[in-house]
Structure 1
């Protein structure tokens, strides 16, 4: 019989007193028994840490940085990983929710598919009241295991979708702490470059859309980090030249949009020109309205 901790769930938390109780409940209400829940507070000042310390559940471990410093999301996740006992790891943001029964489902999947280093499932965006807005993947979504596709389309939008083998994390290294945005994309890429990844199609987590969501802030930083991630990826793995060119075009275009809406039209035009030069066919489709200009 299984008696040891199999899964370690890690949540980095910073000033989430209004949302983290529901996140914690989504973990503690799982029907799977063999897990620990590590929550790393990143220097909260709104009472989050006090609330976490009042949670009376032996599965919950609350950690803090030295001198209660704010070191960033990646550093908090890395601290959680370094203290994890499980052979599988789930990384759940402090404003998101695990779907019911997903720990059991994905642990079973990895037990049955020992060549897979990461499995991810279906996710759903929800509003502040918990109403489902849309699913993250189309019904015909599939995973072919090609890192080129993940690099280009960046479709694993959150690690909350995933369960990782801890030994694969140890192989690829921890999250990049110098990135204050897009570090999850870099991490998923490194996993995909050295192991098989799989899509289960099972409802895995709920991504909360709200005004304070980390993922809607700092877009300039996010897309500039995207260029750094791309450069590092090319140095690690033999990506196709067309993939690299098209991904760079996407990043240049998104930077152009950020600068355009910030009324920095000259800088925006420069990035739009680069995007069009790198991927002229897609640029023309956007101009003609044949493709959504995301």
Structure 2
């Protein structure tokens, strides 16, 4: 009988013991005679007692980190890892029962593969799915670097690597307080030894729409920095400057959509100031698209005109349904 595989699981956390408890439980639920997890929790929060209690409950190692950021927490855990493979999970997400074993099978079939990423299921805060698993397709040429630079951000909870990537590609960039996981996975994808399994691996909690302006604004400059860091050296992947710019804006599209949707939702709630704030930042993120939607009949235009006193307040979807 084959000895159980040991996978080191890297879990960054910051003062969310209730979520962390769910995350660690989902990891332990996958163990069996063939599979053992070494769980390493990098904790750069302030409530170490509560976090320590949860980690102890699940037999995890509790590593206190003094540097802020998920990158620093992950690095501390990675340095302590002794398993054959590395896997990851953020403290507010959970693994599905389908995760890990298909990754291992692919690693066993293809010794040259360094990393495998799976599908992600977006959920509401109560872990109820709100969308189909993504990605639902991948590039047929296997160029996952180009796929990511065209706007795909693989959620690291669905990614697994051989322990050797730690030496081959280094650790997370701790100067990046956002998108350090995207940056790290882009490095690995650049080695052209990354593969994909079409199976839902992680339930990825989403915050309520329009509720995290500060987080989005903080992330935008890091997303730009990471894109330029990886896209400029491989500019020949694009057939023209226009295509290169299309990829650049594709990486920012989610931020634009966040603010455009927030403007419409805030208009329905009667928050004129919030509408103007959202429209201003939509313009800063994606000016051409924003202008187009502001001069043509769109929900964004209706929301903005109301916010400056030039139109009726748009109704919320549920209010429209009652008419």
Is TM more than 0.5 here? yes
Structure number with larger C-alpha Rg? 2
CA contact (8 A) 1:125 1:208 kept: yes
1:177 counterpart residue number: 174
Note the residue ranges of structure 1 that are not aligned, 5 or more in a row.
277-281
Where does residue 263 of structure 1 map in the other structure?
A: 277
2:97 corresponds, among 93, 100, 110, to 100
Match of 1:34 among 33, 36, 47: 36
Q: Which residue does the alignment assign to 1:219?
A: 216
Q: Does 1:110 align with 2:107?
A: yes
So what's the TM-score if we normalise by structure 1?
A: 0.79
SS of corresponding position for 1:40: strand
Q: CA RMSD in A?
A: 3.5
Displacement after TM superposition at 1:44 (Å) = 3.1
Separation (CA, whole Å) in 1 of partners of 2:294 and 2:117: 31
Cross-structure match for 2:77: 80
Q: Deviations over 1:115-157 (max 9, x none)?
A: 222212222122333322222326555564222221112241x
Which one has more relative contact order, counting CA pairs under 8 Å at least 6 apart?
1
SS at match of 1:116: coil
Report the alpha carbon displacement of residue 56 of structure 1 after superposing the two structures with TM. 5.6
Q: Give the 5 Å matches for 1:47-196.
A: 47-55=49-57, 57=59, 60-65=60-65, 69-137=66-134, 139-141=136-138, 144-146=141-143, 147-156=145-154, 158-196=155-193
The separation in 2 between residues aligned to 1:246 and 1:141, in whole angstroms, is: 18
Distance verdict in 2 for CA 1:48–1:254, change over 3 Å: same
Q: Take 1:31 and 1:135, find their aligned partners in 2: how far apart are those partners?
A: 26
Distance 1:36 1:173, change over 3 A: same
Q: Give the aligned partner of residue 246 of structure 2.
A: 246
Matched residues, number: 278
CA contact (8 A) 1:181 1:225 kept: yes
Indicate how the Cα distance of structure 1 residues 56 and 18 shifts in structure 2: closer, same or farther if over 3 A, else same. Answer: closer
Q: Distance in 2 between the 1:202 and 1:82 partners?
A: 29
Q: Is the 8 A contact 2:28 2:37 kept in 1?
A: no
Ranges in structure 2 where 5+ consecutive residues have no aligned partner: 264-274, 299-323
TM normalised by structure 2 equals 0.73
